[in-house]
Chains A and B, each alone.
Chain A
Amino acid sequence: MKVFKWGLRRKRNPDGYNLLQRSPSPNWQNPKPYIFQFQKPYTDEKEGFSSFSAQNLHSSVAMPQGDYIELHRKRHGYRHDHFERKRKREARDVHKRSAFAQKALGIKGKMFAKKRYAEKALMKKTLAMHEESSTRRKVDDNVHEGAIPAYLLDRETTTRAKVLSNTIKQKRKEKAGKWEVPLPKVRPVAEDEMFRVIRSGKRKTKQWKRMVTKATFVGPAFTRKPPKYERFIRPSGLRFTKAHVTHPELKCTFNLEIIGVKKNPNGQMYTSLGVITKGTIIEVNVSELGLVTPAGKVVWGKYAQVTNNPENDGCINAVLLV
């Protein structure tokens, strides 16, 4: 096995520019008259041993590698085919970069792709900038739709839904009994999930009372039946008065009061009890939205369908039926 020695390496460049040694250049005996620009020739006698050799050391003081190349170029000029080769090399570079970008895998590829993307974005911006200055346009030529008068121009208003002309539509739908609702099918809730059996009596053997385990709405004028006779217990902790109602077109949510429970899909009994589960249609007070029918009447109640499970979340989320 060959032992690697540094000395072997050095042999390859016998007359090489060895940065490690401060060796003079081969022609130091007959120095060419060359004025080295970066170092003043020492004339100071105080500098001792270096002074005499400084004048002879035209440019053989160690320079950065590129400076030697520059120096050579200044003396001898460029190669005859230098510029053509440079141009062709740069042209090939593009293909090489692209091949690299396609082949590189892993983190290397990712880092390269990121750099390349940044360059692409910058290039696009400069192109757009150049394009812009070529056509001088003062104002935006496009006529946008959604014209608003001057007093509303600087104001940000929420994008409006189209006018609601639905009391007539609602009335017609009510008569037909058919509703187009956002959640047409909901998971049916079984009775044992809805009610919990409450044992009562001295020996706790009577089991005719039930406690509702889902969210309910009771209304402001609600008073409980005497506890001895009430069959269905609606705990006050599960009673809600307000719902978070989202307008499907405006995409904004309002906190509106519930007026009543219109229909619970699980059964008519639950509707009469006021139980609110997912898919229930409730009626909410929309007077704060400021809706007006074409006849000029103010709309104050609208239907909404519940979209979450209120007993799990602690709040009622609904979407308005427009």
Chain B
Amino acid sequence: MEGGGEDEMNKNVMCLLTDPDGTALGAPMYLPQNVGPLQLQQLVNKLLNNEEKLPYAFYISDHELVVELGSYLEKNKVSVEKVLRIVYQPQAVFRIRPVNRCSATISGHTEAVLSVVFSPDGRQLASGSGDTTVRLWDLNTQTPLHTCTGHKNWVLCIAWSPDCKHLVSGSKAGELQCWDPLTGKPSGNSLIGHKKWITGISWEPVHLKAPCRRFVSSSKDGDARIWDVSLRKCVMCLSGHTLAVTCVKWGGDGMIYTGSQDCTIKVWETSQGKLIRELKGHGHWVNSLALSTEYVLRTGAFDHTGKHYSSPEEMQEVAQQRYNKMKGNGPERLVSGSDDFTMILWEPAISKHPKARMTGHQQLVNHVYFSPDGQWVASASFDKSVKLWNGITGKFVAAFRGHVGPVYQISWSADSRLLLSGSKDSTLKVWDIRTQKLKQDLPGHADEVFAVDWSPDGEKVASGGRDRVLKLWM
């Protein structure tokens, strides 16, 4: 790395490589202008002393660097006198292939399919429907496996425990039922306690306690209850909200976040069920919450390698490692999407004031989801668009337009490069984050698409909707 600009052909630029949090990697150095992302990658790997070459993406003032430095500078007329800050972001080592065709259409439900969730290891698939059954599907043969009956009204939510041992479903009658996913039989009587329908279920992260025993459920009657599967009863009732609780999330640091129609988000601690914080800021119902570590909490100890662990302690250790790596040094971030067309980025562990307000949608925000690596936040809204925001600062990055009806749900691929959205107009669309364009259009459903999910191993996408069939895409 020579200093000074002697050669006219090979001008040098003073650069400083920083990581997403802002800490600099080494001192500012001169780089020739013909370096591209590949060479920068090698440089970063060397400086970080990585044993294996990990892929990185580079951003200069939030624009991705895809060409040589020189052409980039010319295009954007960046001054060479100041030190150029290049932010590097680690990318997932594996790359998910975009899904492009419907591999199977499985019918079986007799009413609309309301929720579709893959198990954390990606081997099993469960769906809840308006015909009061939960069905388990075999992914290898793409046929129905088990039908779990027992609910009294529509099955609104289902959730897998992070160790794949339990499946819990909540219905419109306010009851929760725990199933054994291997046999499809209920593991006991239904858990009664809520007076109105269940709006959300979230399990305790496996790194806090293994094997998984507790989960929290939120309901329209305004309270959230913590249940224990082994004791088969409600251990705590978190009441405080005045209107329906629309979503609940169990955070990685042991706190429970509940968002409600009374425009507030409450943060609870789990040993005694006391309210820690109340986050006020929205002007209308809070529809959806997303945590930056959500994906890691959902998948627990499983990752793209598909390794299985035998003992719960091992699982807990591995999950703890994954969680720490994911979280990094910063606090856990929370994004809430609301009916007042805005989203707010919070750092609940630090303060109860909003960190950033993300405005721009023209209709209510129905679903917000952090990317698995925590760098991006995607929001689905009824104004037919999906917007992409920076996951750390909350700044707007891109809007994806293409749907002709309200967008209901979104799902990320495991490598955070692809985003899937399902909408009322019966199509699913896959968007590429790097190019910020539509990657693939997946039509085929005959009616509204209510639920989408991308399997954690990235191979399959499952979607269900009002036309009563479950579609698997590969």
Say whether B195 faces chain A, with CB atoms less than 8 Å apart. yes
Report yes or no: A163 in contact with B130, Cβ–Cβ below 8 A. Answer: no
Contact partner of B157 among A150, A294, A296, CB < 8 A?
Answer: A150
The 5 closest A-B pairs by CB, nearest first: A147-B130, A296-B443, A290-B404, A290-B405, A150-B156
Chain A residues in 8 Å Cβ range of B367: 151
**Stretch of B59-67, B107-115, B226-234 on the interface side:** B107-115
Q: Kindly identify, within residues 161 to 177 of chain B, every residue whose CB is under 8 Å from any CB belonging to chain A.
A: 172-174
Least Cβ distance of B358 to chain A in Å?
19
Least Cβ distance of B159 to chain A in Å?
12
Report yes or no: A147 in contact with B112, Cβ–Cβ below 8 A. Answer: yes
Report yes or no: A292 in contact with B112, Cβ–Cβ below 8 A. Answer: no
Chain B residues in 8 Å Cβ range of A147: 111-112, 114, 129-131, 154
Give the interface size bracket for B toward A: 35 or more
Chain A residues in 8 Å Cβ range of B410: none
Least Cβ distance of A244 to chain B in Å?
22
Report the bound CA distance from A165 to B220 in whole Å: 36
Chain B residues in 8 Å Cβ range of A165: 446
Report yes or no: A149 in contact with B404, Cβ–Cβ below 8 A. Answer: no
**Stretch of B48-56, B197-205, B301-309 on the interface side:** B197-205
Say whether A143 faces chain B, with CB atoms less than 8 Å apart. yes
Chain A residues in 8 Å Cβ range of B153: 139, 143
Say whether A141 faces chain B, with CB atoms less than 8 Å apart. yes
**Residue interface bits A273-304, CB-to-B below 8 A is 1, else 0:** 00000000000000100111111111000000
Query: Can you report 10 A-B residue pairs in the complex whose CB atoms are below 8 A from each other?
Result: A139-B196, A148-B450, A150-B114, A151-B246, A151-B288, A151-B367, A291-B425, A292-B404, A292-B427, A292-B443
Report yes or no: B173 in contact with A139, Cβ–Cβ below 8 A. Answer: yes
Chain B residues in 8 Å Cβ range of A313: none
**Residue interface bits B436-459, CB-to-A below 8 A is 1, else 0:** 000001111011101100000000
**A149 in contact with B174 given A292-B427, A294-B443 (CB within 8 Å):** no
Report the bound CA distance from A80 to B405 in whole Å: 83
**A149 in contact with B114 given A292-B425, A296-B427 (CB within 8 Å):** yes
> B199: nearest residue on chain A (CB-CB)?
A150
Contact partner of B451 among A145, A149, A160, A294, CB < 8 A?
Answer: A149
Report yes or no: B112 in contact with A296, Cβ–Cβ below 8 A. Answer: no
Say whether B408 faces chain A, with CB atoms less than 8 Å apart. yes
Least Cβ distance of A269 to chain B in Å?
38
Chain A residues in 8 Å Cβ range of B112: 146-148
Report the bound CA distance from A148 to B153 in whole Å: 12
Say whether A138 faces chain B, with CB atoms less than 8 Å apart. yes
Say whether A153 faces chain B, with CB atoms less than 8 Å apart. yes
Least Cβ distance of B143 to chain A in Å?
23
Report the bound CA distance from A148 to B431 in whole Å: 26
Chain B residues in 8 Å Cβ range of A291: 404, 425
Say whether A154 faces chain B, with CB atoms less than 8 Å apart. yes
Report yes or no: A150 in contact with B427, Cβ–Cβ below 8 A. Answer: no
Least Cβ distance of A69 to chain B in Å?
56
Least Cβ distance of A135 to chain B in Å?
16
Report the bound CA distance from A297 to B149 in whole Å: 38
Report the bound CA distance from A295 to B445 in whole Å: 9
Report yes or no: A149 in contact with B446, Cβ–Cβ below 8 A. Answer: no
Chief secondary structure at chain B's binding surface: loop
Say whether B297 faces chain A, with CB atoms less than 8 Å apart. no
Report the bound CA distance from A290 to B366 in whole Å: 18
Chain B residues in 8 Å Cβ range of A141: 152
Say whether B261 faces chain A, with CB atoms less than 8 Å apart. yes
Report the bound CA distance from A295 to B427 in whole Å: 9
Least Cβ distance of A320 to chain B in Å?
17
**A292 in contact with B130 given A151-B367, A165-B446 (CB within 8 Å):** no
* Interface set of A (CB-CB < 8 Å, partner B): 138-139, 141, 143, 145-151, 153-154, 160, 162-163, 165, 287, 290-298
Report the bound CA distance from A15 to B115 in whole Å: 91
Report yes or no: B115 in contact with A149, Cβ–Cβ below 8 A. Answer: yes
Say whether B426 faces chain A, with CB atoms less than 8 Å apart. yes
Chain A residues in 8 Å Cβ range of B126: none
**A145 in contact with B111 given A163-B446, A296-B443 (CB within 8 Å):** yes
> A154: nearest residue on chain B (CB-CB)?
B244
Report the bound CA distance from A148 to B466 in whole Å: 8
Report the bound CA distance from A143 to B200 in whole Å: 20
Report yes or no: A296 in contact with B444, Cβ–Cβ below 8 A. Answer: yes
Report yes or no: B404 in contact with A298, Cβ–Cβ below 8 A. Answer: yes
Chain A residues in 8 Å Cβ range of B220: 153-154
Report yes or no: A151 in contact with B152, Cβ–Cβ below 8 A. Answer: no
Least Cβ distance of B242 to chain A in Å?
15
Report the bound CA distance from A148 to B465 in whole Å: 9
Chain B residues in 8 Å Cβ range of A160: 448
Report the bound CA distance from A138 to B408 in whole Å: 31
> A145: nearest residue on chain B (CB-CB)?
B111
Q: Which of A138, A145, A148, A287 has the most CB of B within 10 A?
A: A148
Say whether B413 faces chain A, with CB atoms less than 8 Å apart. no
Least Cβ distance of A169 to chain B in Å?
14
Report the bound CA distance from A237 to B66 in whole Å: 58
**Other than the known A149-B115, A292-B405, what 15 A-B pairs have Cβ atoms closer than 8 Å?**
A139-B152, A139-B173, A145-B111, A147-B129, A148-B114, A150-B246, A151-B288, A160-B448, A163-B447, A294-B426, A294-B443, A294-B446, A296-B442, A296-B443, A297-B443
Say whether B316 faces chain A, with CB atoms less than 8 Å apart. no
Report yes or no: B156 in contact with A149, Cβ–Cβ below 8 A. Answer: yes
> B112: nearest residue on chain A (CB-CB)?
A147
Report yes or no: A151 in contact with B426, Cβ–Cβ below 8 A. Answer: no
Report the bound CA distance from A230 to B343 in whole Å: 60
Chain A residues in 8 Å Cβ range of B244: 154
Chain A residues in 8 Å Cβ range of B197: 150, 153
Report the bound CA distance from A139 to B195 in whole Å: 8
Chain B residues in 8 Å Cβ range of A296: 427, 441-444
Report the bound CA distance from A293 to B196 in whole Å: 37
Say whether B287 faces chain A, with CB atoms less than 8 Å apart. yes
Report yes or no: B366 in contact with A151, Cβ–Cβ below 8 A. Answer: yes
Report the bound CA distance from A138 to B192 in whole Å: 12
Chain A residues in 8 Å Cβ range of B115: 149
> B173: nearest residue on chain A (CB-CB)?
A139
Chain A residues in 8 Å Cβ range of B246: 150-151
Report the bound CA distance from A149 to B117 in whole Å: 14
Report the bound CA distance from A292 to B406 in whole Å: 13
Say whether B463 faces chain A, with CB atoms less than 8 Å apart. no
Q: Which of A139, A145, A146, A293 has the most CB of B within 10 A?
A: A139
> A296: nearest residue on chain B (CB-CB)?
B443
